[in-house]
Structure 1
Amino acid sequence: MRIRLTVITLVLLGAGVAVGVPVSAAGHTDTIGSDRATVRERPGRLVLANAAAGDRAEVTAYCGDWVRIRVTARHAMATPVGWVLRANLTRASRPGGLAGVPESCGADADRWRDWVGAINAPFHSLRKVDDGWRRVVFGTGVTLAGGPDCVPSLNYVRRSDAPDAVDPAQRVSGLDLNRVSYRYVTRDGAVALISAPRVGGSYGVWSFVPAGCLLPKAGRQTVYFDEPMIQLRDIAGLRTGVGYSDATVRSRGCTRAVRSPGHPRFGYWPDPVNSPSC
């Protein structure tokens, strides 16, 4: 369940708007071949939605084992555009399945600023511990409240005239709800992404719950980290499990996270307008 995530930086919230990625005139049609596919903000990073087996997908670019798609879903999704693993697709997973698809790594780097409203164990973040600043590569364990409304769902929906809402038609059964990790809360604070393995399993399944269903673990004051957080522009060469000094992090372009003004119980997040320098 240790999946590295990243900080969200710039927003275009138009559903399905392709940004900076060339698409061939003929297009590259495909389908989701696995039981589900996590649709991410960038290759290997932030999870925004889940596609389901049989969903149609237009392939617009690839980067290593990751493929950028536009999904035509038969179910609710917060966004139909993002990156999935090549193995999740039917045609693209085969030899030659990406023939003619342009390579475009990092084209979505600045697409989703403020899509979510917490610091979210991002790829470029560190937290303060006794021996200095340590990289964050994981979420925090939480307690999930009971009741039918708190059963995880594979997707949520974004609405212009109402808060984000979990889709009750996509509930996930068989998860070990004693091993839930928090990942992020959506921008309006209404929905949270969690990770939990199936009963007897170890691999975390991404799913969504109403944010009010999350309770801090015993001994913590907030759902996310209580301690101060920072973000770095450059994390090259920084190892996990190592404490780094103030001087080191400042030399790499350091900005401070602040207590969320709208959702303080979720802990720290990067100020989306004016992140203060360290």
Structure 2
Amino acid sequence: MSRRSGNKRVRRLLYTGGVATVGALAFTATNLSTTSAAPEGAQHRAADTITTDRATVRDYPGRLVLSNARAGDRAEVNSYCGGWVRISVNTDRAMATNVGWVLRGHLAEAGKAGGLDGVPERCGKDESRWRDWVGAINSPFQSLRKLGENRWTRVTYGTRATLTPTAECTPSMNYTRHADAPDEVDPGQRVEGLNMENVGYRYVTSDGAVALVSAPRLDGGKNVWSFVPASCVQPRGDRSKVYFDEPVVQLENINGLKGGVEYGDQTLRERKCTAAVPAPNHPGYGYWPDPEKGSRPECTL
């Protein structure tokens, strides 16, 4: 059994009440290939092309970035959910995975009116896919952090951090996974022109070697999600951790709660809050993204 597959089995045992799941026992090194298989049961394969400068490839619609596709990359459309499309990217560049969800508008054909005709809708697929990729996160899914007495705000962003100012810590668009060696940032896809004074840390990969960070371009525009060696990420300012180490809670129901808005303790009680759980293998980088409900401790407000 490889180092990575062994770690994965331990994590699932920890959060499924000590019962090994079929997914944990059946995991093999083929999951680590940078050329992943098409989604299970997928019959539809429509050829398409990435048209934007970059397209974040995510584990689940609107959630965590696993890799980045680039303009001109060929792709096969497998399914969709709302404005998100599940694709397989065909490229010679290094990518931790070439399978995931991208915004429909990043694709030449799927982005057109009627461009998804005949494509199956598969919302809910991949909801637990993060377990194969994430070792610790700055704040769990559906979480809020405490700002002060009776003041909480939703977390959907990275924790401000500092990157060690070396060439090796320059962000890259992608990284490579290895079965029996640490994950490795691809030096051939470095991203220049980012504002390194405004970096946000989101998660470390399952082996703890690579971190996902965001930073805006110096000339403005949206933040760029990219990857650096995890050792490059350092606490910023008066923080002693790279993640949100103030009280953090996870809610069973997050519907309707917006970012940038403050909520009181009563809102948390009404929505069944639980305490955030430190990541079992990489607690120095934050929390377990989404523990099994039976393994979540009570929250203290």
Q: Give the TM-score normalised by the residue count of structure 1.
A: 0.86
Give the gaps of 5 or more residues in structure 1.
Answer: 1-8
The CA distance in 1 between the partners of 2:121 and 2:286, in whole Å, is 38
Q: Which residue of 2 aligns with 1:108?
A: 126
Q: Does 1:185 align with 2:241?
A: no
Report the secondary structure of 2:63's partner residue: coil
Tell me which of 46, 51, 62 is aligned to 1:28: 46
Identity of aligned residues (%): 57
Q: CA deviation at 1:94?
A: 2.2
> CA 1:234–1:18 in structure 2 vs 1: closer, same or farther (change >3 Å)?
farther
Most deviating of 117-126 and 211-220: 117-126
> CA 1:144–1:172 in structure 2 vs 1: closer, same or farther (change >3 Å)?
same
Report the secondary structure of 2:67's partner residue: strand
* Aligned counterparts, 1:47-196, within 5 A: 47-130=65-148, 131-196=150-215
Listed one character per residue, the Cα deviations across residues 13-71 of structure 1 (whole Å, up to 9, x for unaligned) are: 825345566433xx211121222210011122111100122222110111222111011
AA aligned opposite 1:77: M
AA aligned opposite 1:263: H
Q: Which residue of 1 aligns with 2:263?
A: 243
Q: CA deviation at 1:80?
A: 1.1
CA RMSD of aligned residues (A): 2.4
Most deviating of 47-56 and 95-104: 95-104
The CA distance in 2 between the partners of 1:166 and 1:205, in whole Å, is 16
Q: Name the count of aligned residue pairs.
A: 267
The CA distance in 1 between the partners of 2:190 and 2:258, in whole Å, is 37
The CA distance in 2 between the partners of 1:146 and 1:198, in whole Å, is 17
Listed one character per residue, the Cα deviations across residues 90-132 of structure 1 (whole Å, up to 9, x for unaligned) are: 2212233222111222222122225212234455011123124
Q: Which residue of 2 aligns with 1:252?
A: 271
Give the gaps of 5 or more residues in structure 2.
Answer: 1-14, 16-22
Residue pair 2:204, 2:230 contacting (<8 A) in 1 also? yes
Most deviating of 234-243 and 185-194: 234-243
The CA distance in 1 between the partners of 2:119 and 2:141, in whole Å, is 27
> CA 1:21–1:104 in structure 2 vs 1: closer, same or farther (change >3 Å)?
farther
Q: CA deviation at 1:202?
A: 3.6
AA aligned opposite 2:213: I
The structure with the largest helix share of the pair is 2
